[in-house]
Amino acid sequence: MNYIFLFLLICGSLSAAEDFSGKQEMNGISWMDFRQFPEKWELVTIRFRKDTGEMRITYANPLAMQALKEGKTDYPDGAVFAKTGIHTGVDPQFISSVVPKGIRRYQIMVKDKKRYAGTHGWGYALFDPEGKTFNEDPKITQDACYACHTIVENRGDVFSQHFSTTRYVKPIFTQEEKKVNTITYVTKAVSALPNNIRSQIPKWAKDVRWVEVEILRKHVFQGTLDEMKPLLEHESLRSKLPAIFASKDEKRFVLIYPGKSEDCMEMTQMTSISTDQEFKPVMNKFCLYD
Ligand code: HEC
């Protein structure tokens, strides 16, 4: 009896510790097939995240580029976008100048309407700087990629718009044209929150702003929490309430609220609390520079 119990215990802990890292393939997308994208493909655009200082550079293969430039939302099979996330720092000899400091990750999306029918025909893959998978369940990750990209369903699930380094390119998709998806919030009483989240809310808050996008809440990976931070920061500054994004099962969440602290002098201090891989809340404080 004891042996059976021990056996079950070992099996249980083995499966809990399944390692997804180190593979050069995810979701049927092989890193080796695409690793030369920065040399071979055209630049689509560059984006920058002000809070983390992460620079993102997106490329498209010819099929994807042509559809993008024509403003088509029905991308043909074989269209591929690839994005590089890059750490930045400052030039120590001229600290106002931001410089790239190494690759953080690669993200790829491949169109194959049959193969990826469940995710609007796009297959998503994520690789580390060595072109290997991170230790996160690929199924959960690809669904989370898809869930966020459906925000721009009106653009064929593609956020980027074409940009040129030599001339101004008017964005094809604008908010005004038609009713489009964005992140929406509702006000919720702190008393209505689940215990694990409520215990992290500062005493002064009676209400919170709560993200209400079903699909996004249903499919969450660690990266979703990170991507949501700047949006929550914006909403918490606007509403002067804590802003929260929580997964549907409420185990993973990220919460941000503004405050005052001597550390930040007259600037606003932001506190962010985000769950880690084991669902434990981790607190971070930073001063808001204009
Ligand atoms: C919470 C939202 C969110 C999640 C989750 C997300 N993305 Fe994106 N993705 C974006 C945004 C916003 C952009 C536009 C560029 C930028 O700001 O970095 C983008 C851009 C991209 C691009 C360039 C083409 C385009 O749509 O502009 C690729 C490729 C991409 N993401 C792949 C992925 C993959 C793979 C995953 C999952 C591992 C993923 N994304 C998860 C929001 C998200």
How would you write the pLDDT of the chain (290 residues) with one tens digit per residue? 455 544 444 444 455 578 999 999 999 999 999 999 999 999 999 999 877 889 999 999 999 999 999 999 999 999 999 999 999 998 999 988 889 999 999 999 999 999 999 999 999 999 999 999 999 999 999 999 999 999 999 999 999 999 988 888 888 887 665 567 788 999 999 999 999 999 999 999 999 999 999 899 999 999 999 999 999 999 999 999 999 999 999 999 999 999 988 888 888 999 999 999 999 999 999 888 76
- For residue 202, give the amino acid letter: P
Among 43, 80, 83, residue to substitute to test ligand 1 (most atoms within 8 Å of Cβ): 83
Give the separation between CA 282 and CA 195, rounded to whole angstroms. Answer: 16
- For residue 83, give the amino acid letter: K
CB-based pocket (< 6 A), ligand 1: 47, 56, 58, 81-83, 107-109, 124-126, 141, 144-145, 148-149, 158-160, 223-224, 227-228
pLDDT number for residue 160: 96
Q: Are 124 and 210 in contact (CB under 8 A)?
A: no
Q: Which of 84, 88, 26 is nearest to 60 (CA)?
A: 84
Q: Which of 284, 233, 287, 232 is nearest to 260 (CA)?
A: 287
Give the separation between CA 110 and CA 123, rounded to whole angstroms. Answer: 5
Distances 123 to 159, 207, 217 between C-alpha atoms, Å = 15, 38, 20
Which residue's alpha carbon is nearest to atom 14 within ligand 1?
Answer: 159
pLDDT number for residue 178: 58
Q: Are 164 and 149 in contact (CB under 8 A)?
A: no
Q: Are 103 and 84 in contact (CB under 8 A)?
A: yes
A 10 A CB-CB count for 112 gives 16
- Furthest C-alpha separation in the chain: 75
Which residue's alpha carbon is nearest to atom 17 within ligand 1?
Answer: 47
- For residue 46, give the amino acid letter: I
- Tell me which CATH code domain 20-155 carries: 3.50.70.20
pLDDT number for residue 2: 52
Which residue's alpha carbon is nearest to atom 13 within ligand 1?
Answer: 159
pLDDT number for residue 15: 52
How many angstroms does the Cα of residue 207 sit away from the middle of ligand 1? 31
How many angstroms does the Cα of residue 81 sit away from the middle of ligand 1? 10
How many angstroms does the Cα of residue 31 sit away from the middle of ligand 1? 17
0.85 surpassed by pTM: yes
Q: Which of 182, 151, 185, 150 is nearest to 256 (CA)?
A: 185
pLDDT number for residue 211: 96
Among 31, 44, 107, 140, residue to substitute to test ligand 1 (most atoms within 8 Å of Cβ): 107
Give the separation between CA 119 and CA 202, rounded to whole angstroms. Answer: 38
Give the separation between CA 200 and CA 204, rounded to whole angstroms. Answer: 12
pLDDT number for residue 77: 98
Q: How far is CA 189 from the centre of its chain?
A: 27
pLDDT number for residue 177: 56
CATH code 3.50.70.20 region(s) in the chain = 20-155
